[in-house]
Chains A and B, each alone.
Chain A
Amino acid sequence: MTVTDVLVAVAALIAAPPAGGFLVGVDRKITARLQGRMGPPLTQPFYDFFKLLSKTRVVAARGNMVWAWSYLLLTMTAFTLFFLGQDLVVIFLILAFAGAALAYGAFSVRSPYSHFGAQRELIQMLSYEPILLLTAAAVALQTGKFTVSGVLTWDEPLLPALPLAFAALLIALGIKMRKSPFDIAASEHAHQELVRGVYTEYSGRYLALIHLAHWYELVLILAFVALFWAQPLWIGALAALAVFLLELFIDNLAARLRWSWMVAVCWGLGIGFILLNMVLLQWLA
């Protein structure tokens, strides 16, 4: 790890919230346009964030506050590890800890709605976690490295070798972005929901922390997508942006579906795609 790596990580830590918030703003604008509306200004996520920060505290359990902080800090840990070029499996497992922290915060209040959301959050993790881990394994099968820095030294783009794994990653991305048809635990703005799903009992500044964590998470997952075309990196960035837009279209085309269907799609289609890709990769090599 060199000084440059550390500088990159620090820069990414600082740049991610504006970038993530901006992407969410783009999301809301485009979603509105797809529905024939004007939509809010691009800066809307930041208004929401600062407004939430300025609200007084209304809390049902201390655990709720503690875990909101932990969720943010753990997500930031995973984020930093990625930009320090660390191990992908480690990053995804830490991200799993973060996701669980969000659920624990919801569990800490004796509220039926937040419990419901938390259970569904865990079911989401059951669905996407294998996809993320296996995608990392597929990347390693091709490049021989599990570390981000190792993958970056691989000369060729990964996408031509791992198209199916990439497709599977899109499913995981949809869940992580909380987009239909996989917004099981809590949908983003303007979708109908059982109260507010896993966020029901988080409020004010703690909800703001969760928004911030989502921005980090969004940038992290998109950065992982960009890793599939890391040489040169600008194509990867464009690919990530294209994938982001694709998710928005899917969100607006799809209805919300049942959790059992989500598990079936992720385990059947998602894992199936990655395995097929890995087998083909071995067979062709």
Chain B
Amino acid sequence: MGLLTRSRVKSPWILHYCTGGCNGCDIEILACLTPLYDVERFGILNIGNPKHADLLIVTGPVNWKSEQVLKNLYEQMPEPKLVMAVGACACSGGVFHNCYNTLGGIDKVIPVDIYVRGCAARPEAIIDGVVGALNKLAES
């Protein structure tokens, strides 16, 4: 693995966006930053700016309001970038399935690299998902 790829794998900065779920997964994502899970061990930072981010973590089923926002944020991220759908809603619409105001999953709007299931997804699962995403990055 070259230096640049290795650096990419070792330093994934996260942009976190909720497209209209119940915030359960969001709380679990933030739990990953706490001392108990401490994802900064892996160089992960919650950066809050698409222009700096490598990994877009999205929760919620994508309602009509957030569709364009999600697209905009995705487009503003520089390559190489990864998208991770966290939680049942983000993967498939979950409890909002077939709701009139949702699109039913992130992959209806932008390409998704990795899906993390659960309602809400547990922090361990989220960390696992990030590692999976990074493996994908390392292989590419």
A-side residues, CB < 8 A to B, are 28, 32, 35-41, 44, 46-51, 53-58, 189-190, 193, 195-196, 199-204, 207
Q: Counting CB contacts under 8 A, is B78 at the interface? A: yes
The listed residue (A37, A195, A207) touching B48 by CB distance below 8 A is A195
Q: Counting CB contacts under 8 A, is B26 at the interface? A: no
- Closest 7 pairs between A and B when the two form their complex, measured CB to CB: A50-B7, A203-B51, A47-B10, A54-B4, A58-B78, A37-B38, A51-B7
Q: Counting CB contacts under 8 A, is B6 at the interface? A: yes
Q: Counting CB contacts under 8 A, is B125 at the interface? A: no
Q: Which of B39-47, B85-93, B108-116 contacts A (4 or more CB under 8 A)?
A: B39-47
Residue of A nearest to B37 (CB): A37
CA distance A168 to B119 in the complex (A): 53
Given contact pairs A46-B7, A48-B7, A58-B51, enumerate 13 new A-B contacts (beta carbons under 8 Å).
Answer: A28-B40, A39-B40, A40-B41, A44-B43, A48-B11, A50-B4, A51-B10, A53-B4, A55-B79, A195-B49, A196-B49, A200-B49, A203-B52
**CB pair A204 B40 closer than 8 Å:** no
CA distance A56 to B54 in the complex (A): 11
Q: B36-78 interface mask toward A, CB cutoff 8 Å, 1 = contact, 0 = none?
A: 0010111101111101101000000000000000000000111
Given contacts A38-B41, A189-B45, whether A56 and B78 have CB atoms under 8 Å apart is yes
Given contacts A44-B43, A47-B43, A51-B8, whether A58 and B48 have CB atoms under 8 Å apart is no
CA distance A36 to B3 in the complex (A): 30
Smallest beta-carbon distance B87→chain A, Å: 24
B-side residues, CB < 8 A to A, are 3-4, 6-8, 10-11, 33, 35, 38, 40-43, 45-49, 51-52, 54, 76-80
Smallest beta-carbon distance B123→chain A, Å: 14
CA distance A50 to B11 in the complex (A): 9
Residue of A nearest to B5 (CB): A54
CA distance A38 to B36 in the complex (A): 9
**CB pair B4 A201 closer than 8 Å:** no
CA distance A47 to B134 in the complex (A): 14
CA distance A77 to B55 in the complex (A): 36
**CB pair B11 A47 closer than 8 Å:** yes
List chain A residues, Cβ under 8 A from B10. 41, 44, 47, 51
Question: Can you offer 13 A-B residue contacts whose CB atoms are under 8 A?
Answer: A39-B40, A47-B6, A47-B10, A48-B11, A54-B4, A54-B8, A56-B80, A58-B77, A190-B33, A196-B52, A200-B51, A203-B51, A203-B52
List chain B residues, Cβ under 8 A from A202. 51
List chain B residues, Cβ under 8 A from A54. 4, 7-8
CA distance A49 to B8 in the complex (A): 10
CA distance A40 to B42 in the complex (A): 6
CA distance A55 to B49 in the complex (A): 15
List chain A residues, Cβ under 8 A from B76. 58
Smallest beta-carbon distance A209→chain B, Å: 14
Given contacts A35-B35, A53-B4, whether A48 and B43 have CB atoms under 8 Å apart is yes
List chain A residues, Cβ under 8 A from B38. 32, 37-39
List chain B residues, Cβ under 8 A from A32. 38, 40
